[in-house]
Amino acid sequence: MGPYTFAQSFLCGFFGFAAIASFVMWRRSRRDLSLLAIAVGSFIWAAQSMAVMALATSGTIEGARQALTLRTMFGSLGVAAIAWTLAEITGVRARAFVWFSTILMVAVAGAAVAGVPLVGTVTRLEPVSLPWGEVSSSYTRIAPLVITFAIYAVIFAVDAFTLRSAIRYMRRDRTGGVLLIVAALGFALGIVSAALIDLFEVRLPYPGMFGVAISMTVIAVQFARTNRQRNDDLTAADRRFRAIFDQTFQFIGLMAVDGTLLEANDTALRFASVSPQEVIGKKIWDTAWWTHSPDLQNQLRDAVRTAASGQAVRFEATHPGPDGRLHCIDFSLKPVRDSDGNVNLLIPEGHDITERVVAEEAKRKLEQQLLHSQKMEALGQLAGGVAHDFNNLLTVIAGHADMLLRGADAQAQHDLEQIRLACRRAASMTRQLLAFSRQSVLEPKVVDINKVVAQTETLLRRTLGEHIELTVRADAELRLVKVDPDQLSRVLLNIAINARDAMPNGGRLSIEMKNVTAPNRDGGRPAVRDYVLLVMSDTGCGIAPESKARLFEPFYSTKPKGQGTGLGLAVVDGIVKQSGGWIDVDSELNVGTTFQIFLPATERGVTVDDPRATEHAPGRGTETVLLVEDEPAVREMTQTALEGYGYKVVSARSGEDALQTVSAKQTRIDLLLTDVVMPGMSGPELADRVRRDYPSIAVIFMSGYTSNAVLRRSIEAGEAHFVQKPFTTTGLATKLRQVLDRH
């Protein structure tokens, strides 16, 4: 075997190997048509190399004719393969020309097989010695058909197409374009040598396969470069994807349709404090995100089945976080479909919405507080109106009863005392209405809570009954507080009554007082201050969570109908808050309830008021009192009562009438006794106007309630004098005498 024959045999094996390798790679991906084109072309050129080798070594004319036919057939098919290969690699969209040339080349191959002598017919065969001494067959044939020239024109056009495609490819890849130009030139070498042999009958051993080998080698190099660049791009894209996948705030994964977890991003892994090896390959419901709740595991199994059927699923779940708390998660499962529309993967996704849930819960609570505040404001306005009119009526009734008592016999005194008792009970009801609406006027004093509790203890024991044990633990070093002692006693009594009702079969109620330091809840300074803590704990049935949330709502009661007004704890809350404190409640069903009442401590060294101070018999007087009251019955009763104590009374039905009396200056006015709430000019406004003419005049306000915050603060601070309606005539006369004596 000479060098030429060996080279053709090598090229046959080279192209055959290239065909097999390219086909195997294409079969793996089934996407890259360039690989398929190279595989088909390499197979054709392997067969072409065999035909060239057979033509060079044929010993008979018939064998030479058959080899020439095969060379013509595979050569034309190889031209089509080259056109498709370059078109796929360069991405040129000249499909019409490629299809035209392919159809023509297939027709040429068919004609050659059919025996059409396109390139002539072998007529004589003789051996020739090549320059390097190798013997090769040389043949003589008749002239080719005229159409063969046209066919070669198309073949040259195909080569021009490949060259143009390579030049255009240089715009995207300069090196790749140069390689493809070399491939086109190698292909041109094969075309030119074939044209010289077939068209011009040049007697040469066919060298075209060497040019084709160069072309296919260069194409393979370019394909490898393209694949490497593609792999680099895929690697970079994968890195970008992993960066997005892992660094997003979302919990994202990938799972099979049976629930097996295939991937999980770093965010999800860090949240659960697990490594990929601990969760990948497991059923997702058996991973650390879900094992804390069997109910959620079952819900997730159902969700996986639903998503595997092609429906997206979304629900709220909880996951244990790295801080040990359960976080609220917005979880979803989305199906992924393949090219046939079948679900082959699922994407689990979660988003931590704990902050949003907390914010929504806080918003809901604020809305409830606002609604409660609006309700309280409406009830407060109602209570104020009721208290004003009702207390006026009670004042008239109680005042006349007081005056009748002075000369009544024993039977009449008993009846009148019952009237006074009913008035006091009715007044207590109006004070409760005002207390929960925080419109009552307190008379705060600096007191020792130990003493207030001690003075109320006897009443508490009588209220609780013998079946309930009462224990009191006082602190000898207890700080002082500024509260209304009567209202504080009401707080103790109301909580004790609730405790008694919660322990129908007996139990224990303990009262404890102690000094504490706590954050200032009113937002002022200092941030932390001293308080006196009053703790009342019972061993009763406890309070249900849903009832605890509404504990201080007015008219809300858990007692049977007819056994409670629903005002007791609302009154307690109003008194404590109006005193600058607050209440915390801790309760457990069947264990008991604890009320913690925080009251601001006062500075040491303040004079302590005696909560046991009693009312003395009033002294008489001769001073002139200007009485201003818009309610005629109250005005007449009050005037009669004061005149009975020796005072000279000038009455007026409104602020305007009172100012006319003052302006007339017909008599000296020693004291102004005025209602607070009146049509037109209010009591405080009247007092300011009167003080312009009488700067040192004494002023006493009277009312069932006052919505004037400035006046209320002045009264509570001891800067203004006030008489609470309904009042007794004795109490009113005592107050007048005290105020006049101070002036």
Specify whether 42 is located in the same domain as 176: yes
CATH number for 210: 1.20.1070
Amino acid of residue 476: A
Count Cβ atoms below 10 Å from residue 138 Cβ, excluding itself.
17
Report whether 531 contacts 544 (CB < 8 A). no
Q: State residue 361's pLDDT score.
A: 87
Q: State residue 432's pLDDT score.
A: 63
Q: State residue 258's pLDDT score.
A: 93
Question: Whose CA is closest to 576, among 603, 550, 604, 595?
Answer: 595
Residue whose entry in the numeric block shows the structure tokens 């058959």: 66
Q: State residue 614's pLDDT score.
A: 47
Q: State residue 392's pLDDT score.
A: 82
List the beta bridge partners of residue 251.
350
Q: State residue 613's pLDDT score.
A: 47
* Bond preceding residue 600 cis, omega within 30 of 0: no
Structural domain contains residue 619 = no
Specify whether 152 is located in the same domain as 103: yes
Structural domain contains residue 190 = yes
Specify whether 203 is located in the same domain as 71: yes
Hey, what are 212's tokens? 């084709």
Specify whether 180 is located in the same domain as 304: no
Q: State residue 611's pLDDT score.
A: 46
Specify whether 319 is located in the same domain as 346: yes
Count the helices and strands in the chain (H runs, E runs). Answer: 21, 19
Residue whose entry in the numeric block shows the structure tokens 């067959």: 137
Specify whether 97 is located in the same domain as 195: yes
End of a domain among 231, 265, 293? Answer: 231
Report the domain count for the chain.
5
Structural domain contains residue 221 = yes
Amino acid of residue 87: A
Specify whether 92 is located in the same domain as 11: yes
Specify whether 586 is located in the same domain as 720: no
Structural domain contains residue 617 = no
Specify whether 453 is located in the same domain as 415: no
Q: State residue 564's pLDDT score.
A: 56
End of a domain among 231, 258, 279? Answer: 231
User: Can you tell me whether residue 349 is helix, strand or coil?
Assistant: strand
Structural domain contains residue 439 = no
- Domain range for 410 is 363-429
E strands, 582-637, where? 582-588, 592-600, 624-628
Residue whose entry in the numeric block shows the structure tokens 């048509």: 33
The rounded distance, in Å, linking the Cα atoms of 253 and 306 is 17
**φ, ψ of residue 511 in degrees (nearest 5):** -120, 130
Hey, what are 731's tokens? 């109490």
CATH number for 292: 3.30.450.20
Q: State residue 157's pLDDT score.
A: 93
Specify whether 343 is located in the same domain as 367: no
Specify whether 588 is located in the same domain as 645: no
Q: Average pLDDT by consecutive 10-residue portion of the chain (743 residues)?
A: 80 88 82 81 88 84 88 90 86 84 92 88 79 74 86 91 90 88 88 85 76 85 83 84 82 93 91 91 93 93 94 93 90 91 93 90 84 71 72 84 80 83 76 59 79 88 88 91 86 89 91 90 70 93 82 69 64 84 90 92 58 59 91 91 92 91 83 89 90 87 67 60 85 90 81
Structural domain contains residue 635 = yes
Q: Within 13 Å, how many C-alpha atoms sit on residue 352's CB side?
A: 18
Q: State residue 441's pLDDT score.
A: 57
Q: State residue 349's pLDDT score.
A: 94
Q: State residue 291's pLDDT score.
A: 92
Q: State residue 544's pLDDT score.
A: 84
Structural domain contains residue 616 = no
The rounded distance, in Å, linking the Cα atoms of 90 and 731 is 111
Round the average pLDDT of the chain to a whole number and report it.
Answer: 84
The rounded distance, in Å, linking the Cα atoms of 69 and 475 is 123
Report whether 176 contacts 161 (CB < 8 A). no
CATH number for 670: 3.40.50.2300
Q: Indicate the DSSP class of residue 616.
A: P
Specify whether 643 is located in the same domain as 592: no
CATH number for 559: 3.30.565.10
Q: State residue 715's pLDDT score.
A: 62
Structural domain contains residue 441 = no
End of a domain among 352, 374, 407? Answer: 352
Q: How far is CA 246 from the centre of its chain?
A: 21
Q: How far is CA 437 from the centre of its chain?
A: 36
